[in-house]
Amino acid sequence: MTEPIISVRNLVVEFPLRRGLFTAVNDVSFDIMPGEILGVVGESGAGKSMTGAAIIGLIEPPGHIAGGEIYLSGKRIDNLPPEEMAKLRGKRIGMVFQDPLTSLNPLYTVGQQLVETIRRHLPMNEAQARQRAIELLGEAGIPRPKPASTAIRTSSPAACASVSSSRWHCRRSPT
Ligand SMILES: Nc1ncnc2c1ncn2[C@@H]1O[C@H](COP(=O)(O)OP(=O)(O)O)[C@@H](O)[C@H]1O
Ligand SMILES: [Mg+2]
């Protein structure tokens, strides 16, 4: 029998708040088989993003997984040390964040953030990784990938309006 790529068993995510424990994800279980796509639908605040964040090990403390198990191709990953999880993240498992304006760190250039992930997983020096980052931006359809790689994303539309209109990262895509 084929093994699920992802298996989530009775996942519970909690946030300790001043007025007590808040349960953001309550007893969620599902399997995703190879080649399968799972869509999760629910009202805002239902716990969809927290379920995804738990799977890739990116729940911000003091939030934490308070129960359940997560398996990646049969290997339990919810209890891995952070360094072990970091080896999987960006290689075996990743997340496309909903909002590109908040998923990039404004203190680093786009290229620096790509180089960090590339060098974590591939035996490349800084220059090779930088070149690869530019190629990847091009493959993703980003216009003028080289200048794009040295851009810093800005999060506020006002800040975007104040920088050159040629800065690709300041264009908001229509939603
Ligand atoms: N850092 C946090 N501290 C406390 N509660 C949080 C935090 N982040 C998210 N939550 C709560 O967890 C619940 C699930 O959020 P989320 O997974 O983002 O919902 P959505 O289904 O809209 O993606 C929401 O009620 C949200 O308010
Ligand atoms: Mg969400």
Q: What is the pTM of this model?
A: 0.78
Q: Is 60 in the pocket of ligand 1 (CB under 6 A)?
A: yes
Q: φ and ψ at 62, to 5 degrees? A: -80, 5
| pLDDT at site 101 | 74
| pLDDT at site 166 | 36
Q: Is 54 in the pocket of ligand 1 (CB under 6 A)?
A: no
How far is CA 113 from each of CA 19, 46, 110, rounded to the nearest angstrom? Answer: 37, 30, 5
Query: Of 165, 168, 108, 164, which Cα lies nearest the Cα of 138?
Result: 168
Residues whose CB is less than 8 angstroms from the CB of residue 36 and which lie 6 or more positions away in sequence, other chains included: 5
Ligand 1, pocket-test mutation among 50, 51, 56, 65, most atoms within 8 A of CB: 50
- Domain boundaries of the chain, sorted by first residue: 6-80, 100-170
Burial (CB count <10 Å: 0-12, 13-18, 19+), residue 139: exposed
**pLDDT tens, per residue, the chain with 175 residues:** 789 999 999 999 999 999 999 999 999 999 999 999 999 999 999 999 999 999 999 999 999 999 999 999 999 999 999 999 999 998 899 988 877 677 788 889 999 999 999 999 999 999 999 999 999 999 999 999 999 999 887 544 444 443 333 333 444 333 3
